[in-house]
Amino acid sequence: MLLSAAVIHFTFKCYKQISCFANQQLTDLFLFVSAGVFGSETDETQSLSVMEGDSVTLHTDFTEKHEDDEIMWNFGANNSLIAEIIRASGIFSTYNDGRFRDRLKLDRQTGSLTIINITTQHTGHYKVKRIAAELSLKTFSVSVYARLSVPVISSNSSQCSSSSSSSSSSQQNCSLLCSVVNVGHVTLSWYKGNSLLSSISVSDLSISLSLPLEVEYQDKNTYSCVINNHISNQTTHLNITQLCHTCSGPPEGSISLIVLISAAAGSLLIVAALGIFCICRKHRKTDREVETCEEQITYAEPTFYKRNAYKLKVQQEDHVEYGTIAMG
């Protein structure tokens, strides 16, 4: 297909420069092109992995610049034209097919293409074609990965389970679950130290991805849950004492909560006792003050003086009633 494009392009230029061209000459021209006299075609593929939100530059590596260069960038299975350079016409353009939205930057000197703030929908094949002294075709296979979330480790709903060993004693096991959400093209793994215990992979976008693990509550080994893709990873380390506890007793967090509640209740009781004591003391003090006041009262015997006794006596003497006495 590139050969046909080159022949058409070269024939067009010949018609533009020569007014008349015989059929035999055209035939000879096609033969020359087929034989490689016009130039050679080179094709190579380069794979790139990039994180979502980053910028990536697709380098053409064209070492020589020609005034009649034509460079075309195509994307996807439909080979949509997204950028082109036609030096003879002074055309340096990028095209928005609805997915790139001003994310494309074209280097006018080298023809290299930069994609800014790339997203997962820009994953695919990019083809650059150069028509000049020789035909060049280069393909870029670009894989865009979403940024990874940190794995979350949680204890199972049962919290713990007991399994009988060969001996009379029983060992307590803790069931754990490592989870991530909204991931694709990743692997989720459990590690014991540097040793891989288990893993699960997804190629398409997954709403949620989980991986279980069961350990002894008194296990002293180091465990970690790791999510990774081709270019990055995230790790969460397991804290057994925080998430795991024995079935025979409450977890350490519950014990702390009980102690805290007990301390708060004790404090309230102490405050209430102090309040009652202060109230009783205040009432007792008031009663004492009342008794003191009663003790300080002085009782005296009153003495009455007869100031008007004489006057009353005279008045009584002056009031004489006379009467007739009949003598028989």
Q: Which of 31, 244, 221 lies closest to 156 in space, CA to CA?
A: 244
Residue partners of 240: CB distance under 8 A and separation at least 6: 174, 215, 217, 219, 223
pLDDT over 50 (residue 73): yes
Q: Residue 237: pLDDT band by 50, 70, 90 thresholds? A: very high
Q: Is 96 exposed, middle or buried (0-12, 13-18, 19+ CB in 10 A)?
A: exposed
Q: Note the pLDDT of residue 298.
A: 54
Helix H or strand E segment including 36: none
Q: Note the pLDDT of residue 152.
A: 96
Strands 152-155 and 170-183: antiparallel
How far is it, in rounded angstroms, from Cα 320 to Cα 328? Answer: 25
Take residue 290 and report the two structure tokens written for it.
Answer: 């009342």
Q: Note the pLDDT of residue 39.
A: 45
pLDDT in tens, 137-170: 899 999 999 899 999 999 875 544 544 444 433 4
Integer CA distances (angstroms), 88 to 72, 92, 136, 285, 294, in order: 14, 11, 18, 111, 124
Q: Residue 136: pLDDT band by 50, 70, 90 thresholds? A: confident
How far is it, in rounded angstroms, from Cα 237 to Cα 229? Answer: 18
pLDDT in tens, 39-63: 445 568 899 999 999 999 999 988 7
Q: Note the pLDDT of residue 288.
A: 61
Q: Note the pLDDT of residue 49.
A: 93
Q: Note the pLDDT of residue 236.
A: 97
Task: Give one DSSP letter per residue of 234-250, joined into a string.
Answer: EEEE--HHHH---TTS-
Eight-class DSSP state of 253: H
Tell me what the mean pLDDT of segment 109-124 comes to.
93
Take residue 223 and report the two structure tokens written for it.
Answer: 């465990």
pLDDT in tens, 178-213: 999 988 889 999 999 999 999 999 887 777 899 999
Residue partners of 317: CB distance under 8 A and separation at least 6: none
Take residue 5 and report the two structure tokens written for it.
Answer: 């494009």
Question: In the chain, what are the domain boundaries?
Answer: 1-38, 40-145, 152-160+172-243
Specify the pTM. Answer: 0.55
Q: Note the pLDDT of residue 235.
A: 97
Asked if residue 183 lies in contact with residue 205, where contact means CB atoms within 8 angstroms, the answer is yes
Angle 30-32-33 (CA atoms, 0-180°, nearest 5)?
Answer: 65
* Fold match, 40-145 / 152-160+172-243: yes
Eight-class DSSP state of 162: E
Top-confidence residue, 14 or 87:
87
pLDDT over 50 (residue 32): no
Strand partners, 135: 41, 131
Top-confidence residue, 14 or 221:
221
Q: Residue 14: pLDDT band by 50, 70, 90 thresholds? A: very low
Looking at the domain 152-160+172-243, which fold is it?
Answer: Immunoglobulin-like (2.60.40)
CATH superfamily ID and name for 40-145: Immunoglobulins (2.60.40.10)
Q: Residue 274: pLDDT band by 50, 70, 90 thresholds? A: confident
Q: Which of 137, 108, 134 lies closest to 10 in space, CA to CA?
A: 134
Q: Note the pLDDT of residue 251.
A: 53
